[in-house]
Structure 1
């Protein structure tokens, strides 16, 4: 191998260096050539396009070059001119080198788009939907709503346009977001210069707080429209109490079904002299004629110088001090009885005169009232009073005590009042009165054998020989064996039927689609036992469409269901059709499944009390502990057939000043009370009682044939 010589190596390095120098010169020359030629090519291309546009009459277009790209700017007079200008520019240069930035004004006289954003919040999450101008700070809007909703619980359906924001838009959006984050169940609608809030709160206090807070921070120039509702509580019992004393008139309790009814009741109380006070709004009115009964009761008390008028459920009580003239009290009582709706019962009485230093006879009263018990009357000592109050509190709840220690109570008085209080257990609206010679108990029971049970309880406590009188009303709705449905049971059954076989409607219409007969038949089977309850048929829609249209559509669909039920033979006298539109969604409206769930018919109980029920007359049972068992209660004669009202409690009626027939019979060792009673419709038949010794004996009269026959009883 020949070794390279130094001279040859140097020659090679020189040739390489020379090549690199030549390559560098070439690159520099190319760069300089590009720098020299690029502006000229760019200008040449722009001039060519500009010349073509000018020749075509598109002088409004501006042309700028950007390398090998030409940008078209300016405002076209109309869409056609815009298309033609772009086509002319494309003919002068390749299509890929044209960048179109020409603005097109909206047509003259055309309305700008309707910008609107709606935020819907409920337990399932938050959704925001709408059309907004390009200036809207979308990231800030979504960030604040997502922070309030929680991770993964925000649905963003907002679209932006290239149009500028109208006046008042930014302020309205910022305020709407601030309001939405405060309300977990709300729909907030934003339009330029206006924010509408439809929300549901947990109570009236929260509603008032929100309304005040929103009004305080609403920006100037933004109109705030609120529709914030609070679910009304169920009031039980539905009660009204008005008291008049020498010191003045006061409204102790008040309940009303709606604001208009409340205002009329408070106005009537104010005319009667009651100081301004509140009145609770809520559900649970025992009758749609509650207001009529309340106004009649207030008017009755207003006619008296003093007294108390109380309505609890359908029971009306009118009392007055003993010194109120009897004719005045009787007039007020009779007018009230005439004015009360049929479903209400009246108890009216004057208070007894104050007892003297040595009153006779002694008396003790106990009455169940508003979840507690009231004790009033004579006790032998304070320790007995404490024991009695402890017993009553354990059985009935809070005790209102007006007991008075008396030193003249007879032997066995403590046992008698203890037995009476114990016997009240299990009675609704129970009352007891104890005197030295009689124990009276009254109330409503769900047991047909309550009279026997109470007699046995009194006998176990007192032994033999204690006279009692029971005035009991049997209410089958309280009897577990009868199994009558409650109002809640009825509504649950109706809604279950609608969920299993929902009634469909024509799209955007109120007409029922398809064959609804099977559903109506199922509803009719439930309503056979539930027609006495006040029930609402509520129509609901999704959020598609205008609020007013949805409101009207939901009401029309509810009325269509009501009409179909009536046509199907269902008693609809106590049903009411109401439309709620889109205000009460069950699910978000941003999915088809959610919208379908929100389009529904829903039943709601208006009052847990049946309406138009005739109050049952009490069954009167008298007896003595240790004696024969009380006879089974005889069904009361219907009110329409009865000759007059049946007294709930009280002494046996007397005429004149002599002894009663019962007393005469007892003195002779006999009884004129029948042992059996036979009922045939409204006719009651009893065995012929034995004649009293002092009474006239009707001798048989001879007939024309000479035979003496017993005289026939007079025809009834």
Structure 2
């Protein structure tokens, strides 16, 4: 059956349409996939992995989050180089811009004998860079300052100013140092000349450190050269102890102290010097073996002088036990060491009085020499040597001559006198079989030094005994008064008599010369005291005139102290005029109270607030402090012994104020003593008793 011709035409048109639609859909799909693949590959090649590509017909959509606007713009440009720009639809997002964080501010300050180097980043504020460089240049004459500082326009972080000020203060007192300053921490690395200076510097820095600031200190002292390298361990009726201790390393020191503890010694107060000059790297091994052997004998002494070892037993030790210990020790010692072992015989039932030489050293430095010497030449030599050691006017010689004295007597006497000179007070006894030194010292190293001298001078195999007691009150370093103690003494001095000026001028009245002399003595005994001498006036007269006169009077006090050989590097004169009254200027009594000079401690850590003290209470407290100081001084004169001496005086810590009793002249006469800066912030933490530095004996020749 044939279709009509007219029916065939629609069918053809419908078929053609379907074929066209299917071909167009297929072509669009191919174009979308190809466009998406080309763009995706191009973006990956350019490293733009954040962009996602989606094709919708002829349109190419870019989606995703670009890290910044530049990255978004680059993704669009790369896509435009691959497909027609008209087909691109940009749907990219950009990460929001965050606020620029402030950089980390820090300063490295390096100082040596050649100059100072400043390296770091500072906040851009006023003229901080110039001020820091000027402050560094002012630390010492002729110091070159290498300024490698940069600044950033950001505010200073919290704590930055306090940390930077502390860093500069540390740089001032540490001539060879590296100081790293940041807002939260200050790290200090420095070199000192000695162990004593190291302790002093650490104490100063701890007092200067602001509260809350983390301070890391690493101050090293050079190792001394020990000649001879000495160690002495004793077990007697006083118990096991070290008379002298030397080590070549900190590890060796710990091993030696541990061996002493195992033998029964208390390791808490052992002073074991780490130094150079060890005779063998196996020093710790040898000393451990010797101490262990002596512990088995239960009594006696062992002395190392370089590689020479002297082991002395007790007369009560059985010979068999002594021989066994000596044999084991000889087997354990490294070959470089030489052992001399002696077991003293038991004492005779009828002992004869031995020939002896004695010397006694009093706490005032007076020395008496008695006993026997071989001849006139030795007597003259001993007398001259003693005068050189103790002072020409302090030696009394009352010796007799005995030509029958044993060999080596002169060497034993001179070595004993050199040892006695290490003490503040004590006694020396020289016999044919021993040299004995006893007494009191203010140095923890004295016992070790005495053992070192005797071991070196007497030689191997010779016996001696050292019984020295350390007294902290006699230690020049430990006995230095604290700033609070110094302020308490100033408080007591100015409470006795006011500092009076000629009315209307800055000239100090001659009647207060004694007060200034007493103040100068206190300042000389407190060499590192940081104090502000502040002038104040009443309200009469012009404000500018009062300020100028108060400044001039504060400076006059500083100059008066300087003229009395006081180091004024830590003193600052500041005039406040009428700005800080402590009483009503409407009455003569109030004006008199306001005319004053305050001695204010500086660089002290803040304390808890304390109750406000009225002027009347302040004067009463100052008078009580002065009375207590006078009573203590009176007690000092009566308390004195040959073996031990310590001076002590009491006082309250704080700020001292000096006042004037002169007539009012419209500007500051100085005011009554009052508990000051420490008390303004909180109760004093100063000791109730104050120790004084003992008088220094002339250095040994």
Of structures 1 and 2, the larger Rg is shown by 1
Structure having greater relative contact order (Cα 8 Å, sep ≥ 6): 2
TM-score when normalising by structure 2: 0.38
TM-score when normalising by structure 1: 0.37
